[in-house]
């Protein structure tokens, strides 16, 4: 953790330790390595300017041995975990889907993470790497996120953690999490901006042709509208709403369908589903809108009306609040090229040709 004499304004170069674990998606370790290594350097090199590296990156594995990947190649770290006494930032990537196996296999990592955090390090769990932070007790009582598809299992396994699957990133007392493989980019650029400022983060992103950090992953998720429960009357209402979510219906009307008073119905519905009835209907409508934006070229106004919203402004605001994107941004991200309508000319040409013999 020595200063570099040519660092601008006396900025200290920060030590980043990237943990590599067997059977994980390599990009969750490689992308942070490349981003931190590039910060303060790559943009400068592309513009023939002096480089001022902002971070010193070291890759490690538990024993310093080569790490295997699911697709047949190995990654050779620079050192072992225990050789790192103190780091400013620690990145923990994914390590395979079988958490029961992996948490045992990599259990030696947990006390090391606790020591690093106690020494002042920022500890980052990328995607399902958050499981190691939770298993180490670092996330108890704190905000966290992970891949949206894993959040249910994480919440069951680590109930003391405040999981937020709608978020790409969380930060709580030097503990950070990111959801999904691509969010390794978001969390790395976020930390570059946090420690080096917006200009360096933008330069790093531009040099690597990366987007600046996103905040929400709910636009990418296929989350269940309701959690599992055993209330047959509420299940009947859910089934009816899933067929009739476009209709405007009052709490009293819903309650009468299952012969309950309004207050009792609201209490039972929230207890069973985890949502108030209005929020449940909103979630159904937004999921329907997402599907239409992904597959149809209808205008946003038409889609809003089709899912039950005549007030376009309200629909846009609600859609962004729930997904983290405007309807237009969501369509640009997830619709087919034929719907987006802005494919490069060469792609239109290829799509129109018979590709016999090209493979």
> Where are the chain's structural domains?
8-220, 232-340
Per the DSSP assignment, residues forming a β-bridge with 61 are 80
Domain 232-340: give its CATH superfamily. Answer: Homeodomain-like (1.10.10.60)
- On the CB side of 237, CA atoms within 13 Å amount to 30
Whether 8-220 and 232-340 share one fold: the answer is no
pLDDT of residue 344: 46
Residues of the chain with pLDDT under 50: 1-7, 342-359
Per-residue pLDDT at 199: 86
Identify the pLDDT of residue 262.
95
pLDDT of residue 291: 83
pLDDT value at residue 173: 87
How far apart are alpha carbons 193 and 212 in whole angstroms? 10
Q: Looking at residue 217, what is its pLDDT? A: 54
- What φ, ψ does residue 286 adopt, rounded to 5°? -70, -35
Please write the tens of the pLDDT for every residue from 101-139.
Answer: 999 999 999 999 999 999 999 999 998 899 999 999 999
Helices (H) and strands (E) in the chain, counts: 17, 11
Please give the DSSP secondary-structure letter assigned to residue 79. Answer: E
8-220: CATH topology: Rossmann fold (3.40.50)
Q: How far apart are CA 312 and CA 55, in angstroms?
A: 46
């Amino acid at each position: 953790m020595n200063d570099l004499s040519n660092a601008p304004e006396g900025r200290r170069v920060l030590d980043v330790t990237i943990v590599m674990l067997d059977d994980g998606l390599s990009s969750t370790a490689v992308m942070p390595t490349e981003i931190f290594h590039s910060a303060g350097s790559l943009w400068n090199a592309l513009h023939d300017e002096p480089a001022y590296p902002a971070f010193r990156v070291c890759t490690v594995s538990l024993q310093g041995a080569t790490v295997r990947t699911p697709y047949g190649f190995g990654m050779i770290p620079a050192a072992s975990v225990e050789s790192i006494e103190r780091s400013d930032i620690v990145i923990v990537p994914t390590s395979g889907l079988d958490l029961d196996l992996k948490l045992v296999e990599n259990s030696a990592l947990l006390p090391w993470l606790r020591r690093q955090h106690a020494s002042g390090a920022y500890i980052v769990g990328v995607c399902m790497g958050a499981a190691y932070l939770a298993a180490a007790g670092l996330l108890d009582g704190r905000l966290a996120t992970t891949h949206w598809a894993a959040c249910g299992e994480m919440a069951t396994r680590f109930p003391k953690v405040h999981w937020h699957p709608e978020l790409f990133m969380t930060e709580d007392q030097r503990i950070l999490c990111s959801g999904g493989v691509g969010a390794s980019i978001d969390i790395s650029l976020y930390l570059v901006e946090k420690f080096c400022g917006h200009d360096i983060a933008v330069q790093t992103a531009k040099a690597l042709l990366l987007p600046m950090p996103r905040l929400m992953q709910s636009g990418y998720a296929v989350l269940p509208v309701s959690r599992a429960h055993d209330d047959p009357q509420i299940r009947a209402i859910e089934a009816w709403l899933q067929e009739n979510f476009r209709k405007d219906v009052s709490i009293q009307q819903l309650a009468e369908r299952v012969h309950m008073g309004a207050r009792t119905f609201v209490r039972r519905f929230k207890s069973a589903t985890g949502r108030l009835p209005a929020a449940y209907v909103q979630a159904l409508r937004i999921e329907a809108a997402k599907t239409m934006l992904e597959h149809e070229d209808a205008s946003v106004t038409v889609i809003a009306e089709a899912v039950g919203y005549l007030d376009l402004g309200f629909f846009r605001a609600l859609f962004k609040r729930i997904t983290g994107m405007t309807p237009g941004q969501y369509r640009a991200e997830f619709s087919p090229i034929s719907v987006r309508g802005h494919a490069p000319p060469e792609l239109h040409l290829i799509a129109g040709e018979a590709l016999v013999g090209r493979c």
